Structure 1
Amino acid sequence: MKRLAIITSHPIQYYAPWFRHLSTVFAVRVFYLWDFGVTKTLDQGFQQAIQWDIPLLSGYEYEFVPNISSDPGTHHFWGLQNPSLLAQVKQYQPDTVLLMNYNHASLYRFLWSWTDTPLLFRGDSHRLIPATGLKATVRRQIISTIYRRFAACLYVGKANYEYFRFHRVAPERLFFSPHAIDNDRFISQAAQNQAIDWKRQLGIPLDHSVILFAGKFEPKKRPLDLLHAFLKANLSQVALLFVGAGSLEAELKTTAASHPNIYFAPFQNQSQMPRTYAIADVMVLPSYGAWETWGLAVNEAMCLECPVIVSSHVGCAQDLVTPFETGLMFPAGDVQALAECLQEAFSDRDRLKTWGKNSRTRITQYCYETATAGLQTAMTTLLPET
């Protein structure tokens, strides 16, 4: 078996199941640069300390690389400082090294020091908001230079592919490895049954449909856009449910206080997320800006046969959201357009259910098996059998 070293910032709920799957194909060792997710740590977006409640470190080999940063984390460049990273990876003697990110101190140091074996990169950036001007030109040159250090890049979707091409990565160096979640964990009948009980607990009438926002209540996610659009849409027998926490929580609750059919639930840990999506008839991701590089919440919702409405700035839109088939899309920041999408979605409840079934069908193609196949193809190209 080929020996694959994976370097990533910290244990992530979406990646750990993939690493377990990869371990059935390669000899894998994951090098973590921070312990967020497996120890109770402050999450900047949720503004509370969290620790994921599903296994993140079982079923594959891993090492934590000591981090000497005085302020560890991915929220700033110096948050990952791991002086022993190069030595620890060398000791493993991998055939290939896969980096899942690079824009931190330790990763740059590794990137410019490693010469032993080919480097791979898997990222999810996009250019849905093209930058212009001198600064953007210089940035393009720098990023293009960085990508020349990689023998191949794995792209997760169409917008990400165009991002790599913009930065002069040749097509023959690009391999499709789609963003995926643990579909099997989310596709669960038990979640549907739990959602009915949860709906009662929240006080949402059982005959009301539910629009769901699940995530961080922060400006870049634009939950206030959804709240204002919901009020404009003036829908009958439809509830809006906000699930999560963050800096905008007080403003959301104040704005919603005098309006009926708007509900709030606190942060839900990973074991409760299938139930969270199962309660919804539509999930909305109204993000504004370049930060929503993919939007894995869309994958999660689709597993539960939930159609989605996303803004034009969400990275997965071109791949997962086909208008009037799996959901709808609107111009980011346009509250009126979002309100019209909500009205359109609920104008035909039977059609909405069909969109949900189509969503489930679509998302089964975005799985760990397909992601692994792309990585295998890249490794076979770089390391042909002798």
Structure 2
Amino acid sequence: MRILIIHQYLWSHYKGKIYSELQKIVNTHKNDELLVLQTSLNEITRANLGPVDRSIHQYNYQVLVDDYYENIPNTTRAKKMLYWVRKFKPDVVNISGYYEPAMNTVLFYCRLVGIKVIISVDSTEEDKPNIWWKEAIKRFVVNRAQGFFCYGSKAAEYMLKFGAKPHQILLENNAVDNQKIASIYKEAYQTRETEKAKYGLRPFNFIYTGRLMAIKNVANLLIAFAKLKPQNWGLVILGDGAEGENLRKYVADEQLEGVTFIEGQAWYNVPKFMALGDVFVLPSYSEPWGLVVNEAMVGGMPVIVSNKCGSSHDLVKNGENGYTFNPYDTDELAAIMKKFVDDPDLIKSFGAVSQSIIKKYSPEQVAQEMYDGFKKVMYEHK
């Protein structure tokens, strides 16, 4: 079985780990071969999050263009993708998403020549406003594929809505490098109090990590925190972005105490800063999954996650390891945050449940489910 995966950019460290685990599985089957096409090195919006670490990409791959993804015309992407499809002669191709012209060009070519196609899907119905004609195009594209790797149950529901069959849902999982994240977090935790003093942090802290963009809804997180006015709790905001200046201005104008901004970090440094917090909050208006929730749970943290984030439906057990909330309702968010302010003992018990839940969301498990999915499409649905 010859497997070809077409992905957008090499920077994705979490995909690098998953593909590396998939390569290990492929290597145990002498008649199998894997090739991953990385269209570009990175995307512009993540350019400040650290360089590409090629050491984590332990699998057979080709980078098609040495540039940012956004700078590559769709015609160039499509030509280079099709070149490798013809050269590698795969039995099954996995493309990323159903909305990019170049990826869809590959999909239709594969259908024409009889190559099986699996679409990776991270979108959910709640991601963006659904316009009827766009939904019609999605339905048409989705129904050309033989299988789907869905990053979460909500993404799977979306595909079923478009007409995918239940047996075509081959994966409902998403993962980070649990082992490495846990190791970095554990080491950083040993100097936690020293680092907290360095940044002038309070005894307990909520923490947000991610880009500072309007869709991330950090403004409402600040509003919710302002309603609490807790004495022993602070709020750490780790990240950079277009909304950074506005958020800092709000804190200054409202004379909001206990809020600490820290500049964005490379992915391998994020767990070090995550160790400074006690409860992780992801307030996004829209988030296909939100892998930073995985990272927080690997570190044994309770999580408060917007119900518009895909991971909230799979990773958050309300009242056990965290809570979900309506991102437009700052009173609801404040009330949830107050539960931890009033009873800090919840941190340890909720964190232990987080660690238990996240064990099955590992790159090894995702890779195995992907391999099983490739086999299923190849041999069971001819």
TM-score (norm 1): 0.89
Matched, 1:6 2:5: yes
Using CA pairs under 8 Å that are at least 6 residues apart, name the structure with larger relative contact order, 1 or 2: 2
Match of 2:242 among 243, 247, 257: 247
Higher deviation after alignment, 266-275 or 94-103: 94-103
Structure 1 residues 194-209: aligned runs within 5 Å: 194-205=191-202, 208-209=203-204
Matched, 1:120 2:118: yes
Compute the RMSD of aligned alpha carbons: 2.4
Specify the alignment match of 1:219 in structure 2: 214
How many angstroms apart in 1 are the aligned matches of 2:358 and 2:108? 37
Specify the alignment match of 1:91 in structure 2: 87
Specify the alignment match of 1:302 in structure 2: 297
- Aligned CA distance change for structure 1 residues 252 and 315 (closer, same or farther; 3 Å): same
Structure 1 residues 214-363: aligned runs within 5 Å: 214-257=209-252, 258-289=255-286, 292-363=287-358
Three-state SS of the structure 2 residue aligned to 1:63 is: strand
Unaligned runs of 5+ in 1: none
> Partner amino acid for 1:9?
Q
How many angstroms apart in 1 are the aligned matches of 2:332 and 2:75? 39
How many angstroms apart in 1 are the aligned matches of 2:172 and 2:18? 11
Q: Residues 112-164 of structure 1: CA distance to partner in whole angstroms, max 9, x if unpaired?
A: 212242111121111136856xx32x333211110122111122222111111
Matched, 1:369 2:375: no
The answer to whether the Cα contact below 8 Å between 1:320 and 1:362 also exists between their aligned partners in 2 is yes
Matched, 1:145 2:145: no
Matched, 1:191 2:197: no
Three-state SS of the structure 1 residue aligned to 2:120 is: strand
Specify the alignment match of 1:36 in structure 2: 42
> Partner amino acid for 1:30?
V
Q: Residues 203-230 of structure 1: CA distance to partner in whole angstroms, max 9, x if unpaired?
A: 214xx10110101111000111111110
Match of 1:176 among 158, 165, 171: 171
Three-state SS of the structure 1 residue aligned to 2:332 is: helix
How many angstroms apart in 1 are the aligned matches of 2:73 and 2:342? 47
Q: Give percent identity, aligned residues only.
A: 24
Higher deviation after alignment, 218-227 or 187-196: 187-196
- Aligned CA distance change for structure 1 residues 255 and 79 (closer, same or farther; 3 Å): farther
Match of 1:165 among 143, 160, 163: 160
Q: Residues 311-351 of structure 1: CA distance to partner in whole angstroms, max 9, x if unpaired?
A: 11111111101111010111121111111111012221112
Q: CA deviation at 1:195?
A: 3.4
Specify the alignment match of 1:16 in structure 2: 16
Q: CA deviation at 1:379?
A: 2.1
How many angstroms apart in 1 are the aligned matches of 2:106 and 2:372? 24
Q: Residues 332-386 of structure 1: CA distance to partner in whole angstroms, max 9, x if unpaired?
A: 2111111111101222111221111100110011112221232233222222399
Unaligned runs of 5+ in 2: 27-32
How many angstroms apart in 2 are the aligned matches of 1:53 and 1:203? 32
Q: Residues 32-68 of structure 1: CA distance to partner in whole angstroms, max 9, x if unpaired?
A: 111117xxxx42xx6x64433644663111112248x
- Aligned CA distance change for structure 1 residues 198 and 116 (closer, same or farther; 3 Å): farther
TM-score (norm 2): 0.89
Structure with bigger helix share is 2
> Partner amino acid for 1:4?
I
Three-state SS of the structure 2 residue aligned to 1:89 is: helix
The answer to whether the Cα contact below 8 Å between 2:20 and 2:58 also exists between their aligned partners in 1 is yes
> Partner amino acid for 2:103?
L
Matched, 1:62 2:58: no
Q: CA deviation at 1:78?
A: 4.4
